[in-house]
Structure 1
């Protein structure tokens, strides 16, 4: 049974955290980093794939998401200390990390800044750090939020007042995934609305400024999973990170977009298991 715990931090903040269950026989502990926006609760397909493999799943809502205390001005690197606090609250010393979409950078933060704790990382459709080495926005169907974030939090918050979802961001395969095996994702995004837009605003601002660590500092093995047709986070982001992460592997999924690429979660878990705990 999924356990929910409010983890109280030294700075007075609270992180709403989740644990799929302490099992001494678990083959691996996996920290799941949610996308933007979501509630932070691990999705049913993630839990099912993990249970089938004897993997224990931890997750938490980033600040301002899903019942966690807001932290305006946070950077991507701040996720490392939060992940460590969640792991400690559940009595976990070492863990692998997996992050989808906006969760990917935060999974990498833990690997860069907690090298003795994070054993390996998987990112799925993850955005790259801002760079002028290539056109960071090229191929994004709806880059308005991130463009506004480049001008700071006030600008991004102003954009949120009129922001609307552009369905052209998704391929037919993405909509099929949302209608089928990943319907839990759409449901969770809808639930996240009750907590307001601040989590997404702060994520975008964090993505558009220096992350607080360099990709070259990630010494753990990293698997980058990317949809060739992704119109939310274009394929160039994954290929650029591949050249900078010291121990990275790229799975480019030729028929996938931003959501359908999540079908690789079971295989990605197998990849993590092969690298041990």
Structure 2
């Protein structure tokens, strides 16, 4: 735990004590606790990975009005507490914009930036987007529009009820990869249930504030990023592929990385992403 002003930022550490430093930003929603398959990949990667909880998640103090760029202050605090001068950054899904913020605003400290299934700045002007508009361009999505023009919290609560009902009915912790069998019932694994509870049940504040931040100006320009960037997405994740098109157009130097799978990367893809972060 580190203090940033009057806030507490909680984080976990994984991997080799002497490994190359990296900060990993979780999705929206998620917490600092990695699943066993991710921990195993990190432990074999040669990296030392810190996973901070953004404000409102996992016990980190809420920060109303935070922007995507606000994460940089927390990233610096964690890195300084660990004695890291230089470090890589990565982020999955809603963690992607936060990793990109560090790459843009900390060019003297960030070595590489890998994002997977990341979203791009949304378009929130005009009337509520239709389903057809969202399918054509994911920047025109109802979630971001509601963050500006409505109230997201009832929808987050409804999503939570659906997810936890499926878990109680015997569902796995995460959806299976396309074509794969579901994992074991999460309700039979105390650690899995703890992760699910922390992510979906304990508080929706971090989840809500992430979406509010995505829908507001991010606080940096994607085109200002100069450090090496890789943009990853799965073959079955059409929405993320469209976001990659947008991000790549804004960052012509970024590498596009494609893997077979869905929004949550399979172990082999995650290992490859971690390996990319170690390249000089």
TM range (shorter): 0.7 to 0.9
SS in 2 for 1:243: helix
Superposed counterparts of 1:68-217, under 5 Å: 68-131=60-123, 137-138=134-135, 144-151=142-149, 155-163=151-159, 165=162, 173=177, 176=180, 179=183, 188-217=195-224
8 Å contact kept, 2:67–2:213: yes
Bigger radius of gyration: 2
Name the SS for the 1:88 alignment partner.
helix
Q: Deviations over 1:40-76 (max 9, x none)?
A: 2234333322221321111110000000000111110
Q: Helix, strand or coil: the match of 2:57?
A: coil
Q: Deviations over 1:12-41 (max 9, x none)?
A: 000011223673x42x11111111111222
Q: Which residue of 2 aligns with 1:273?
A: 278
What is the aligned length? 256
**In 2, Cα distance between equivalents of 1:209 and 1:57:** 29
Residue 210 of structure 1, CA deviation:
1.2
* SS of equivalent to 2:245: helix
Q: 1:62 aligns with which of 54, 61, 69?
A: 54
CA distance in 1: counterparts of 2:27 and 2:97, whole angstroms: 10
2:128 corresponds in structure 1 to none
SS in 2 for 1:274: coil
- What is aligned with 1:256? 261
Secondary structure, aligned partner of 1:193: helix
The structural deviation recorded for 1:241 is 0.5
TM-score normalized by structure 2? 0.80
Distance apart, 1:175 and its partner CA: 8.1
Asked if structure 2 preserves the Cα contact closer than 8 Å seen for 1:64 and 1:195, the reply is no
Alpha carbons 1:30, 1:58 under 8 Å: kept? yes
Whole-angstrom distance in 2 between the partners of 1:261 and 1:15? 29
Deviations 1:90-113 (A, max 9, x none): 111111011011111100000101
Deviating 4+ runs (over 4 angstroms)? 164-167, 182-187
Q: CA RMSD in A?
A: 3.0
**Matched ranges for 1:1-12 at <5 A:** 6-10=1-5, 12=6
